[in-house]
Amino acid sequence: MTLTAEQRERIASELAEADRAHGVIPRITARFPDATIEDSYAIQAIWRDKNLAAGRTLVGRKIGLTSKAMQQATGISEPDYGVMFDDTVYASGAEIPFDDFSNVRIEVELAFVLRAPLEGPDCTLDDALAAIDYAVPALEVLNSHIELEGRTIVDTISDNAAYGAMVLGDVRMRPDEIDLRWVPGVLSRNGEIKETGVAAGVLGHPATGVAWLANKFHQHGARLEAGEIILAGSFTRPMWVHKGDEVRCDYREMGVITCRFV
Protein backbone atom coordinates (compact mmCIF):
# COMPACT_ATOMS: atom_id res chain seq x y z
CA MET A 1 0.00 0.00 0.00
CA THR A 2 1.20 3.51 -0.80
CA LEU A 3 -1.43 5.62 0.96
CA THR A 4 -1.12 6.45 4.63
CA ALA A 5 -3.71 5.24 7.11
CA GLU A 6 -4.91 8.84 7.45
CA GLN A 7 -5.36 9.20 3.68
CA ARG A 8 -7.30 5.95 3.43
CA GLU A 9 -9.54 6.99 6.33
CA ARG A 10 -10.17 10.40 4.75
CA ILE A 11 -11.13 8.89 1.38
CA ALA A 12 -13.47 6.39 3.08
CA SER A 13 -15.14 9.30 4.88
CA GLU A 14 -15.51 11.19 1.58
CA LEU A 15 -17.19 8.16 0.03
CA ALA A 16 -19.48 7.72 3.03
CA GLU A 17 -20.57 11.36 2.73
CA ALA A 18 -21.06 11.00 -1.04
CA ASP A 19 -23.23 7.94 -0.37
CA ARG A 20 -25.29 9.87 2.18
CA ALA A 21 -25.65 12.94 -0.07
CA HIS A 22 -25.95 10.93 -3.34
CA GLY A 23 -23.03 12.88 -4.74
CA VAL A 24 -19.81 12.29 -6.65
CA ILE A 25 -16.20 12.93 -5.63
CA PRO A 26 -13.10 13.44 -7.80
CA ARG A 27 -11.17 10.36 -8.89
CA ILE A 28 -8.88 8.96 -6.22
CA THR A 29 -6.26 8.14 -8.84
CA ALA A 30 -6.25 11.76 -10.06
CA ARG A 31 -5.26 12.86 -6.56
CA PHE A 32 -3.14 9.84 -5.61
CA PRO A 33 -1.70 8.38 -8.84
CA ASP A 34 0.35 5.78 -6.94
CA ALA A 35 -2.63 4.31 -5.05
CA THR A 36 -2.72 0.52 -5.35
CA ILE A 37 -5.42 -2.13 -5.45
CA GLU A 38 -4.46 -3.00 -1.86
CA ASP A 39 -5.15 0.63 -0.91
CA SER A 40 -8.55 0.48 -2.58
CA TYR A 41 -9.65 -2.68 -0.76
CA ALA A 42 -8.43 -1.13 2.50
CA ILE A 43 -10.55 1.97 1.80
CA GLN A 44 -13.55 -0.24 1.00
CA ALA A 45 -13.01 -2.16 4.26
CA ILE A 46 -13.00 1.06 6.29
CA TRP A 47 -16.25 2.14 4.59
CA ARG A 48 -17.75 -1.33 5.19
CA ASP A 49 -16.85 -1.30 8.87
CA LYS A 50 -18.37 2.16 9.32
CA ASN A 51 -21.64 0.80 7.93
CA LEU A 52 -21.54 -2.31 10.11
CA ALA A 53 -20.90 -0.13 13.16
CA ALA A 54 -23.95 1.93 12.19
CA GLY A 55 -26.11 -1.20 12.36
CA ARG A 56 -26.31 -2.39 8.76
CA THR A 57 -26.17 -6.16 8.13
CA LEU A 58 -23.94 -7.74 5.50
CA VAL A 59 -25.78 -10.31 3.35
CA GLY A 60 -23.28 -11.08 0.63
CA ARG A 61 -20.73 -9.96 -1.95
CA LYS A 62 -20.85 -8.65 -5.47
CA ILE A 63 -18.32 -9.54 -8.13
CA GLY A 64 -17.78 -7.10 -10.96
CA LEU A 65 -15.99 -6.80 -14.28
CA THR A 66 -16.14 -10.53 -14.97
CA SER A 67 -17.30 -10.35 -18.60
CA LYS A 68 -15.75 -8.93 -21.75
CA ALA A 69 -18.85 -6.75 -22.19
CA MET A 70 -18.25 -5.06 -18.84
CA GLN A 71 -14.48 -4.85 -19.24
CA GLN A 72 -14.90 -3.15 -22.60
CA ALA A 73 -17.56 -0.81 -21.21
CA THR A 74 -15.31 0.33 -18.35
CA GLY A 75 -11.83 -0.06 -19.79
CA ILE A 76 -10.94 -2.20 -16.75
CA SER A 77 -9.72 -5.76 -17.32
CA GLU A 78 -9.56 -7.25 -13.81
CA PRO A 79 -12.52 -8.51 -11.72
CA ASP A 80 -13.30 -6.80 -8.44
CA TYR A 81 -15.64 -7.27 -5.50
CA GLY A 82 -17.68 -5.33 -2.96
CA VAL A 83 -20.11 -5.91 -0.10
CA MET A 84 -23.91 -5.97 -0.04
CA PHE A 85 -26.11 -4.95 2.90
CA ASP A 86 -29.60 -6.19 3.70
CA ASP A 87 -31.26 -2.83 3.04
CA THR A 88 -30.10 -2.91 -0.60
CA VAL A 89 -32.06 -6.02 -1.60
CA TYR A 90 -35.32 -5.60 -3.55
CA ALA A 91 -37.83 -8.12 -4.89
CA SER A 92 -39.03 -8.17 -8.49
CA GLY A 93 -41.76 -5.60 -9.02
CA ALA A 94 -40.20 -3.13 -6.61
CA GLU A 95 -40.34 0.64 -6.88
CA ILE A 96 -36.79 1.87 -6.36
CA PRO A 97 -36.07 5.44 -5.21
CA PHE A 98 -33.97 6.87 -8.03
CA ASP A 99 -32.57 9.75 -5.98
CA ASP A 100 -30.93 7.35 -3.54
CA PHE A 101 -28.25 6.58 -6.14
CA SER A 102 -25.68 8.33 -8.35
CA ASN A 103 -24.87 7.53 -12.00
CA VAL A 104 -27.68 4.97 -12.01
CA ARG A 105 -27.29 2.01 -14.36
CA ILE A 106 -28.60 -1.56 -14.51
CA GLU A 107 -26.72 -4.81 -15.13
CA VAL A 108 -28.03 -8.32 -15.88
CA GLU A 109 -26.66 -11.03 -13.60
CA LEU A 110 -27.20 -14.27 -11.73
CA ALA A 111 -26.93 -14.47 -7.96
CA PHE A 112 -25.93 -17.55 -5.99
CA VAL A 113 -26.83 -18.44 -2.41
CA LEU A 114 -24.30 -20.66 -0.65
CA ARG A 115 -25.40 -23.68 1.38
CA ALA A 116 -21.85 -24.37 2.60
CA PRO A 117 -18.73 -22.27 3.28
CA LEU A 118 -16.29 -21.88 0.41
CA GLU A 119 -12.59 -21.36 0.90
CA GLY A 120 -9.48 -21.04 -1.25
CA PRO A 121 -6.69 -21.10 -2.20
CA ASP A 122 -7.45 -23.72 -4.85
CA CYS A 123 -11.21 -23.43 -5.20
CA THR A 124 -12.49 -24.64 -8.59
CA LEU A 125 -15.72 -24.22 -10.50
CA ASP A 126 -16.78 -27.69 -9.35
CA ASP A 127 -16.10 -26.71 -5.73
CA ALA A 128 -18.23 -23.59 -6.16
CA LEU A 129 -21.10 -25.51 -7.73
CA ALA A 130 -21.02 -28.04 -4.88
CA ALA A 131 -21.25 -25.21 -2.31
CA ILE A 132 -24.11 -23.36 -4.06
CA ASP A 133 -27.64 -23.97 -2.77
CA TYR A 134 -29.43 -22.27 -5.66
CA ALA A 135 -29.15 -19.65 -8.39
CA VAL A 136 -31.60 -16.80 -8.84
CA PRO A 137 -31.78 -14.11 -11.56
CA ALA A 138 -30.78 -10.66 -10.43
CA LEU A 139 -30.44 -7.10 -11.63
CA GLU A 140 -27.70 -4.95 -10.14
CA VAL A 141 -28.25 -1.23 -9.64
CA LEU A 142 -24.93 0.54 -10.08
CA ASN A 143 -24.25 3.47 -7.80
CA SER A 144 -21.02 5.33 -8.62
CA HIS A 145 -19.77 8.02 -6.23
CA ILE A 146 -16.53 8.68 -8.14
CA GLU A 147 -16.46 10.56 -11.43
CA LEU A 148 -16.62 8.05 -14.28
CA GLU A 149 -14.27 9.66 -16.79
CA GLY A 150 -10.79 8.17 -16.50
CA ARG A 151 -11.51 5.99 -13.48
CA THR A 152 -9.40 2.90 -12.85
CA ILE A 153 -10.00 -0.28 -10.92
CA VAL A 154 -8.54 1.46 -7.85
CA ASP A 155 -11.33 4.05 -7.99
CA THR A 156 -14.02 1.44 -8.59
CA ILE A 157 -12.97 -0.92 -5.78
CA SER A 158 -12.71 1.95 -3.30
CA ASP A 159 -16.30 2.87 -4.18
CA ASN A 160 -17.55 -0.61 -3.12
CA ALA A 161 -17.20 -1.79 -6.72
CA ALA A 162 -19.99 0.66 -7.69
CA TYR A 163 -22.64 -1.50 -6.02
CA GLY A 164 -25.91 0.19 -5.10
CA ALA A 165 -28.66 -2.44 -4.88
CA MET A 166 -29.94 -5.65 -6.40
CA VAL A 167 -33.37 -6.83 -7.52
CA LEU A 168 -33.91 -10.58 -7.13
CA GLY A 169 -36.24 -12.70 -9.24
CA ASP A 170 -38.72 -15.28 -8.01
CA VAL A 171 -37.33 -18.43 -9.66
CA ARG A 172 -34.70 -20.41 -7.76
CA MET A 173 -32.88 -23.28 -9.45
CA ARG A 174 -30.17 -25.64 -8.25
CA PRO A 175 -27.04 -25.82 -10.42
CA ASP A 176 -27.94 -29.38 -11.46
CA GLU A 177 -31.40 -28.31 -12.70
CA ILE A 178 -30.24 -26.04 -15.51
CA ASP A 179 -27.18 -25.35 -17.64
CA LEU A 180 -26.33 -22.00 -16.09
CA ARG A 181 -24.02 -21.06 -18.96
CA TRP A 182 -26.98 -20.63 -21.30
CA VAL A 183 -29.32 -18.59 -19.12
CA PRO A 184 -30.25 -15.61 -21.31
CA GLY A 185 -30.95 -12.03 -20.35
CA VAL A 186 -33.06 -9.69 -22.49
CA LEU A 187 -33.02 -6.27 -20.85
CA SER A 188 -35.63 -3.63 -21.73
CA ARG A 189 -36.22 -0.05 -20.69
CA ASN A 190 -39.74 1.33 -21.14
CA GLY A 191 -40.61 -1.56 -23.45
CA GLU A 192 -37.58 -1.22 -25.74
CA ILE A 193 -34.88 -3.92 -25.74
CA LYS A 194 -31.52 -2.35 -24.90
CA GLU A 195 -29.14 -5.20 -24.02
CA THR A 196 -28.99 -8.97 -24.48
CA GLY A 197 -26.54 -11.67 -23.43
CA VAL A 198 -26.04 -15.15 -21.99
CA ALA A 199 -24.51 -16.05 -18.65
CA ALA A 200 -21.56 -17.87 -20.25
CA GLY A 201 -20.22 -14.37 -20.94
CA VAL A 202 -19.16 -14.31 -17.28
CA LEU A 203 -15.80 -16.12 -17.30
CA GLY A 204 -17.26 -18.98 -19.37
CA HIS A 205 -19.61 -19.97 -16.53
CA PRO A 206 -21.28 -17.55 -14.08
CA ALA A 207 -20.23 -19.61 -11.03
CA THR A 208 -16.55 -19.31 -12.00
CA GLY A 209 -16.60 -15.90 -10.34
CA VAL A 210 -17.67 -17.49 -7.06
CA ALA A 211 -14.56 -19.69 -7.14
CA TRP A 212 -12.43 -16.65 -8.05
CA LEU A 213 -13.82 -14.75 -5.07
CA ALA A 214 -13.17 -17.63 -2.66
CA ASN A 215 -9.55 -17.72 -3.81
CA LYS A 216 -9.25 -13.94 -3.56
CA PHE A 217 -10.65 -14.00 -0.02
CA HIS A 218 -8.11 -16.62 0.98
CA GLN A 219 -5.37 -14.08 0.30
CA HIS A 220 -6.90 -11.98 3.09
CA GLY A 221 -7.38 -14.89 5.49
CA ALA A 222 -11.14 -15.06 4.95
CA ARG A 223 -13.74 -17.32 3.35
CA LEU A 224 -17.26 -17.13 1.94
CA GLU A 225 -19.87 -18.27 4.45
CA ALA A 226 -23.00 -20.40 4.15
CA GLY A 227 -26.08 -18.28 3.48
CA GLU A 228 -24.21 -15.49 1.71
CA ILE A 229 -25.57 -14.13 -1.57
CA ILE A 230 -22.92 -13.84 -4.28
CA LEU A 231 -23.81 -11.55 -7.18
CA ALA A 232 -21.70 -13.09 -9.92
CA GLY A 233 -21.16 -10.30 -12.47
CA SER A 234 -22.96 -8.88 -15.48
CA PHE A 235 -23.23 -10.55 -18.85
CA THR A 236 -24.50 -7.38 -20.55
CA ARG A 237 -23.21 -3.86 -20.73
CA PRO A 238 -24.67 -1.47 -18.14
CA MET A 239 -27.90 0.29 -19.16
CA TRP A 240 -28.51 3.86 -18.01
CA VAL A 241 -31.84 4.52 -16.30
CA HIS A 242 -33.65 7.67 -15.27
CA LYS A 243 -36.42 8.54 -12.87
CA GLY A 244 -39.72 7.09 -14.09
CA ASP A 245 -38.13 4.32 -16.17
CA GLU A 246 -39.70 0.86 -16.24
CA VAL A 247 -37.11 -1.94 -16.39
CA ARG A 248 -37.79 -5.53 -17.44
CA CYS A 249 -35.42 -8.45 -17.94
CA ASP A 250 -36.46 -11.82 -19.35
CA TYR A 251 -34.35 -14.81 -18.25
CA ARG A 252 -36.53 -17.34 -20.09
CA GLU A 253 -36.98 -20.42 -17.84
CA MET A 254 -35.61 -18.48 -14.88
CA GLY A 255 -38.44 -15.99 -15.14
CA VAL A 256 -38.78 -12.23 -15.51
CA ILE A 257 -37.61 -9.39 -13.27
CA THR A 258 -39.32 -5.99 -13.32
CA CYS A 259 -38.75 -2.78 -11.38
CA ARG A 260 -39.51 0.91 -11.68
CA PHE A 261 -37.41 3.90 -10.66
CA VAL A 262 -39.48 6.50 -8.81
Q: What is the pLDDT of residue 71?
A: 63
3 state SS of 158: helix
3 state SS of 37: helix
Return the percentage of the chain with pLDDT > 90, whole number. 89
**pLDDT per residue as tens digits for the range 17-43:** 999 999 999 999 999 999 999 999 999
End-to-end CA distance of the chain: 41
Contact status, residue 16 vs residue 54, Cβ threshold 8 Å: no
Structural domain count, the chain: 1
Mean pLDDT of 109-126: 97
Q: State yes or no: pLDDT of 198 exceeds 70.
A: yes
pLDDT band at 215 (very low <50, low <70, confident <90, very high): very high
Q: What is the CATH number of the domain that holds 47?
A: 3.90.850.10
> What is the model's pTM?
0.94
Mean pLDDT of 200-222: 92
Q: What is the pLDDT of residue 79?
A: 79
Q: State yes or no: pLDDT of 242 exceeds 90.
A: yes
Listed residue (159, 161, 174, 165) closest to 138, CA to CA: 165
Could you give the C-alpha distances from 21 to 12, 76, 144, 147, 159, in angstroms and in order?
14, 27, 12, 15, 14
Domain carrying residue 238: 5-261
Task: List the single range of 2-6, 66-70, 110-114 with lowest mean pLDDT.
Answer: 66-70
Q: What is the pLDDT of residue 199?
A: 96
Could you give the C-alpha distances from 184 to 22, 129, 140, 212, in angstroms and in order?
32, 19, 16, 22
Return the percentage of the chain with pLDDT > 70, whole number. 95
Mean pLDDT of 199-214: 94
Q: What is the pLDDT of residue 1?
A: 84
* CA 18/CA 143 separation, integer angstroms: 11
Q: What is the pLDDT of residue 70?
A: 61
Could you give the C-alpha distances from 132 to 60, 175, 245, 256, in angstroms and in order?
13, 7, 33, 22
**pLDDT per residue as tens digits for the range 70-98:** 666 666 666 789 999 999 999 999 999 99
**pLDDT per residue as tens digits for the range 39-61:** 999 999 999 999 999 999 999 99
Task: List the single range of 34-38, 78-82, 227-231, 237-241 with lowest mean pLDDT.
Answer: 78-82
Q: What is the pLDDT of residue 221?
A: 85
Contact status, residue 163 vs residue 156, Cβ threshold 8 Å: no
